[in-house]
Amino acid sequence: MSKRLVQDLRLPVDVALDRSTALPMYLQICRRFKTAIEQGHLKPGDRVPSARALATELAVARGTVDMAYRILADEGYVQVRGAAGTVISPTLPAPEAGTVRPVPAADPDTHPSHIDHDGNMPKPLQMGLPALDAFPRKVWNRLVGHRLRSGDVSRLAYPHPAGLDQLRQRIATYLGVSRGVSCLPEQVFITTGLRATLELTLRSLSKAGDGFWFEDPGYILARPFLLNTGLRVVPVPVDRHGLQVDEGKRLAPDARFAMVTPSHQSPLGVTLSLERRMALLDWASSVGSWIIEDDYDSEFRYQGRPLPALKSLDRHDRVIYSGTFSKVMFPGLRLAYVVAPLSVVDRFEAVAYNLNAGCPFLFQAGVADFMAEGHFSRHLKKMRALYAQRRAITQRVFNHLLADQLRIDLLAGGLHVLATLPDAADDAGMAAHVHAAGLAANPLSPWYMAARPKKGLLLGFANLVDEDDAIRVARRLRHALSAAADY
């Protein structure tokens, strides 16, 4: 708590401690607190740091902070509770509307407003989430707790920037067995998610102005990141066989990168056909380009056989394979990985060393243990069956209760369904109404860049726990869509 507070106090630049002004330090400290309270950074009941800790943090005498706290207490801003510490007065009124500094609005086109980053339970239908209720938390807590208690002091040092050896080994084995991807542990780099994977990859292999094929429609959260990299992002249309490789070759024959979601196109859910896979690999090897295979949720496939990764067909080592633990375990972990082609492992390694100081040891070790003890494959097996059930319930219930408003045709895999709407529908407007009603439908059209957008709602089904839950949520959706239609 005191850490958060001290950091918050640094936020308002205009109230930084200034040793050159005539305003005494203790009054400057008072002003910082008052500003932090007015701006809502500090709330009634929040604990403030001890006078000693704050004095050290701000490099002032302890008496200076004591004086500031006495004034704040006299003015009713804080309450001193002896050994229990000092807190912001619980009776302090909440800041008036308009005094809280507004947060800059996210770009509504690319920021899915349904994503809750505040630690609240996500809204029903949020896409991209695995079944949070079904993760084996007891097992996980035991494994992480065991590591935590192990008392190995070496683990308090910096972790390896490329990732924990044990985890890199486990991933290499898993990819070989389950995804047909043969690689050495040294090729596997642990990252904090897809965007960190892209950062590592692009810093290792790209230069400004390089062409980058991006699926159209394509993963909406990667787009703003890519548009900020200085690369020439080229939207390449997707049809029912996946990325139109011929179109890519026509639009940007010399592109240095192509990013694809071959197993389960994001967001349309189609599979990249074998013919297109071969054409893409041929193109990449003939022009010396790199293919980034984003294999984010291929583990969940409900129709036909699981598909091997594109990387498994890669005879010329042009594919950079990107995986994540966000779907197969849970996204709060922030652990993902990338497999670097052998010829560029040293470049990835050099960049990884410069880019950051690695991912936290504890969670990497927890995942390695989770895999080593067989929980990972058991969990995947269970989740495949559970998702198949939840997906079928969602389709049945929604198509029945919302028959006149939308139509769900099942995708072959993944954790969301696509509800199609008439072409004239305003899916973004509808999604805004749905969002206001406390649900998290995601409109399809903003996922397009240049191609003519299709209209639809992307609905995450993984957290609809049973038929009753699906019925409740479908009724709320029905109500919200009717309200949108009347608007």
Ligand X SMILES: Cc1ncc(COP(=O)(O)O)c(C=O)c1O
Binding to ligand X (CB under 6 A) within 37-76 occurs at: none
- Per CB under 6 A, 126 contacts ligand X: no
**Smallest distance from ligand X to CB 9, Å:** 31
Closest CB to ligand X among residues 266, 289: 266
> Looking at 124, 128, 235, 453, which residue binds ligand X (CB under 6 A)?
128
Type of residue found at 344: V
Among 193, 248, 446, 453, binds ligand X (CB under 6 A): 193
Q: Using an 8 Å Cβ cutoff, are 303 and 414 in contact? A: no
Kindly indicate which of the ranges 70-78, 191-199, 402-410, 420-428 contains the residues binding ligand X, using the contact rule CB under 6 A.
191-199
DSSP assignment letter at 178: I
At residue 459, the 3 state secondary structure works out as strand
Q: Label residue 423 exposed, middle or buried (CB < 10 Å: 0-12, 13-18, 19+).
A: exposed
Distances in whole angstroms, Cα of residue 183 to Cα of each of 54, 56, 314, 320 = 51, 50, 12, 11
- Contacts of ligand X in 147-186 (CB under 6 A): none
Query: Closest CB to ligand X belongs to which residue?
Result: 193
331 binds ligand X (CB under 6 A): yes
Report in angstroms how near the CB of residue 346 gets to ligand X at its nearest. 25
Concatenated DSSP letters for 157-175?
A: SPPPTT--HHHHHHHHHHI
Scan for tokens 């002003």, then name that residue: 31
Contacts of 136 by beta carbon, 8 Å cutoff, 6+ apart = 375, 379
Query: In this structure, are residues 161 and 352 in contact, taking their beta carbons and an 8 Å threshold?
Result: yes
Query: Which of 86, 126, 244, 324 contacts ligand X by CB under 6 A?
Result: 324
Tell the smallest beta-carbon distance from residue 128 to ligand X (Å): 4
Kindly tell me which residue out of 55, 258, 336, 462 binds ligand X, with binding defined by CB under 6 A. Answer: 336
- Tokens matching residue 207: 């230069």
Minimum CB separation of residue 329 from ligand X in Å reads 11
For ligand X, which stretch binds (CB under 6 A), given 132-140, 188-196, 341-349, 378-386?
Answer: 188-196
Please choose, out of 42-50, 147-155, 189-197, 340-348, the segment that lies near ligand X by the rule CB under 6 A: 189-197
Candidates 296, 337, 361, 387: give the one binding ligand X (CB under 6 A).
Answer: 296
Q: Which residues contact 48 (CB under 8 A, 6 or more apart)?
A: 2, 5, 33, 42, 54, 69, 78, 85, 86, 87, 88
| Under rule CB under 6 A, residue 271 binds ligand X | no
Contact present, 355 and 161 (Cβ < 8 Å): yes
Smaller CB separation from ligand X, 54 or 371: 371
Instruction: Quote the least distance from Cβ 296 to ligand X, whole Å.
Output: 3
Task: Find the shortest distance in angstroms from Cβ 192 to ligand X.
Answer: 7
Q: Which is nearer to ligand X, 414 or 453 (CB)?
A: 414
Size of the site for ligand X (CB under 6 A): 13
Length of the chain: 487
Q: Which of 293, 278, 282 has the alpha carbon at shortest distance from 340?
A: 293
| Three-state SS sequence of 360-424 | CHHHHHHHHHHHHCCHHHHHHHHHHHHHHHHHHHHHHHHHHHCCCCCEEECCCECCEEEEECCCC
Q: Could you say whether residue 242 binds ligand X (CB under 6 A)?
A: no
Q: Is 463 a binder of ligand X (CB under 6 A)?
A: no
**Sequence-separated (6 or more) residues with CB below 8 Å from residue 241:** 270, 271, 272, 273, 275, 276
194 interacts with ligand X by CB under 6 A: yes
Question: Closest distance between ligand X and the C-beta of residue 11, in Å?
Answer: 27
Exposed, middle or buried, 190 (CB in 10 Å: 0-12/13-18/19+)? buried
Query: Residue 20 CB: number of other CB atoms within 10 A?
Result: 4
Asked if 326 touches ligand X (CB under 6 A), the answer is yes
Site for ligand X contains 405 (CB under 6 A): no
Residue 172 or 336 having the CB closest to ligand X: 336
CA distance 476 to 470: 10
Window of 142-150, 181-189, 190-198, 301-309 that interacts with ligand X by CB under 6 A: 190-198
Of positions 293, 294, 299, 369, contacts ligand X by CB under 6 A: 294
Single out the segment in contact with ligand X by CB under 6 A; choices: 83-91, 268-276, 303-311, 324-332.
324-332
Could you say whether residue 266 binds ligand X (CB under 6 A)? yes
Residue (126 or 187) nearer to ligand X, CB:
126
Label the pairing between strands 407-409 and 416-420: antiparallel
**Positions in the binding site for ligand X (CB under 6 A):** 128, 193-195, 219, 261, 266, 294, 296, 324, 326, 331, 336
